[in-house]
Structure 1
Amino acid sequence: MALSKMEDFKFDGKERIPVDYVKGIMQTIPTCNIWDQIWNFQAKSDDLLIATYPKAGLEQAKQMPSPRTLKTHLPIQLLPPSFLEKNCKIIYVARNPKDNMVSYYHFQRMNKALPAPGTWEEYFESFLAGKVCWGSWHDHVKGWWKAKDQHRIVYLFYEDLKKNPKQEIQKLAEFIGKNLDHEVLDKILHHTSFDVMKQNSMANYSSIPTEIMNHSVSPFMRKGTVGDWKNHFTVAQNERFDEDYKKKMADSSLTFHFQFS
């Protein structure tokens, strides 16, 4: 939705779309300008909504058959009420915050439709403080985790999708009421693998003008791995992050895998 009025801004290598706040959550100005339209969006009962914190993955879910598949990065408190009122099926995907932070940092570096992230050190502080578009990662994942007990929400983890994609895709298929035979499942596994999707113009955002997304700075689909945060975090940053994470997640039963054993 924020892309709808990008023609109002000039991308000359310096300018970025400005931001403001909606109910305390940072959003780009084009989103803020049409917030009433977003909030009053009318969902249909057979809509399938995919919800993620930015750069948390599951682009492949877009390719699964459905009457209407929509995607949002909104935290649960900003979700248009009609989705819950119509009892829509919602797929939420969460990614461990360290890898999520790294991926989001590189995404902001290449995407001029978002604020400039600054240095890695500056971005580290912004992320911990929740001063990024779509708000705090901690609040986002906890909010949707709590909502899953009251609504038709299947909560998936990016790390599980990487480790056992067949099992997770079968879980998704059952959730949306699709019975997949082995041949179809194998085709989905192939076409939704990271390496194949990275070459797919329908998934890698290569069709978006360079003035908006500069893939030479960082590709939209960069690595898609688990544990890449180790190549960015200093020892001091990791210790500080862990201490902050322990405090902010103390009131939740959510657990994440930060690397594969």
Structure 2
Amino acid sequence: MDLFNSKDRPRPFYYNGVKFGPIHSPDAMDMVESFEVRDDDVFISAYLKSGTTWTQQIVSLVCAEGDISEVCKVPILRRTPWLETLDMKGTGEPMPKVLKSAPSPRLMKTHLPYYMLPRQARDGKGKIIYCARNVKDVVVSWHNMRLMTHNLPCGTWEENFKEFITPEQAYNGFWWDVIPEYWRHKDDGNMLFIKYEDMKQDLRGHVVKIANFLGKTLSDQRVDKVVANCTFTAMKKSPSTNFTRDPTIQEAFSKAKGSGIEFIRKGEVGDWKNWFSVEENETLEAIHREKMAGTDLTFQFE
């Protein structure tokens, strides 16, 4: 079953009051709460368009045994399957069911809010790496994602912006609910909270930080190889990480053809300044001040 290229695509739906895109699966999500977590499981979590693929690439290469150049050829969705979906390029079964028989260590991607993660992970089993990104660039990246894929309904920039800042309409939860909740768990023993902007400033340092968190001792040469394959340029060139260059799923991104937009797009901090009107910036700033009051979590916006 090929959900990426299927012509019979479901619509967005609500699960426990949260809106999710059609690539997610209610059947899979029903199994997530009771998913049996192993001690060496790694959950790579992030809000939509917040550095998930980047973090997946780093983690999968840090954990790789053997030739990194060969590992890089394997599609990222095979290296780090998406927990709350169906097996998109295989059996079509819910991914939690498929992962039951997967060999260890299991690396898994998720966009779920913290309270929807497997109960055992929330109780401290396995490892959770959470990557957060400044909300203004998230809005822009999410809009561009919707422009390129026909798996997601897309409005104008103004419509998508308004939807993003409306709690009941936001996909995968309201940003100002989801990110502070993960931040509250930043000191949990099985949690590593990192920021997209910090990775931009010090990629090598974050490769080492992630390796240490996962209990991996890498030689300087090995770290250098991981870093070389985790740069924006390298990931944009590779069909294994840049979905718009993967021939097996290009149909899902057919709207991107001729547009110049790619899944790995700019990777910049501050691109929001090319999109936001003065009024939109003031509106989001007001929400941000109100919702982030009382938390010491801050972001670099440019």
TM-score normalised per structure 2:
0.77
8 Å CA contact retained: 1:17, 1:112: no
Q: Which residue of 50, 53, 56 maps to 2:47?
A: 53
Matches within 5 A, 1:195-234: 195-205=233-243, 206-207=245-246, 208-214=248-254, 215-216=256-257, 217=259, 218-234=261-277
Structure 2: which amino acid aligns with 1:230? K
The structural deviation recorded for 1:8 is 9.9
1:117 is paired with a residue of what secondary structure?
coil
Q: Could you list the runs of 5+ residues in structure 1 that have no partner in the other structure?
A: none
Q: Report if the CA contact (8 A) 1:19-1:26 is conserved.
A: yes
Which amino acid in the other structure matches residue 125 of structure 1? K
Q: Paired residue for 2:34? A: 40
Aligned letter for 2:29?
A: W
Q: Which digits, 9 at most, give the CA deviation of each residue in 1:60-115, with x for residues without a partner? A: 2233216221110100011121323462111100000000110111112222223x
The one-letter code sitting in structure 2 at the alignment partner of 1:95 is R
Q: Give the 4+ runs in structure 1 shifted more than 6 A.
A: none
Q: Which moved more, 1:127-136 or 1:26-35?
A: 26-35
Unaligned runs of 5+ in 2: 65-104
Q: Give the length in aligned residue pairs.
A: 251
Structure 2 CA distance for partners of 1:84 and 1:5, relative to 1, 3 Å: farther
State the distance in 2 between where 1:109 and 1:250 align: 33
Amino acid at match of 2:225: K
Q: Which amino acid aligns with 1:249?
A: M
**Counterpart of 2:75?**
none
CA distance in structure 1 between the aligned counterparts of 2:299 and 2:277, rounded to whole angstroms: 20
Give CA-to-partner distance per residue, 1:234-259, whole Å, 9 cap, x none: 11111111111101111321100001
The answer to whether the 8 A contact 1:45-1:86 is kept is no
In structure 2, C-alpha distance between the alignment counterparts of 1:210 and 1:258, rounded to whole Å? 32
Which residue identity does 1:155 align to in structure 2? F
Q: Please say if 1:251 is aligned against 2:294.
A: yes
1:164-179 to structure 2, matched below 5 A, reads 164-179=202-217
- Matched residue type, 2:186: K
1:25 equivalent among 7, 18, 41: 18
Give the AA of the match of 1:161. M
* Corresponding letter in the other structure for 1:65: C
Q: Give the drift of 1:5.
A: 6.9
Q: What percent of counterpart residues are identical?
A: 34
> How far apart in 1 are the matches of 2:124 and 2:202?
32
Match of 2:159 among 98, 122, 125: 122
CA contact (8 A) 1:105 1:123 kept: yes
1:41, distance to aligned residue in structure 2 (A): 2.1
Q: Which amino acid aligns with 1:83?
A: A
Paired position in structure 1 for 2:117: 79
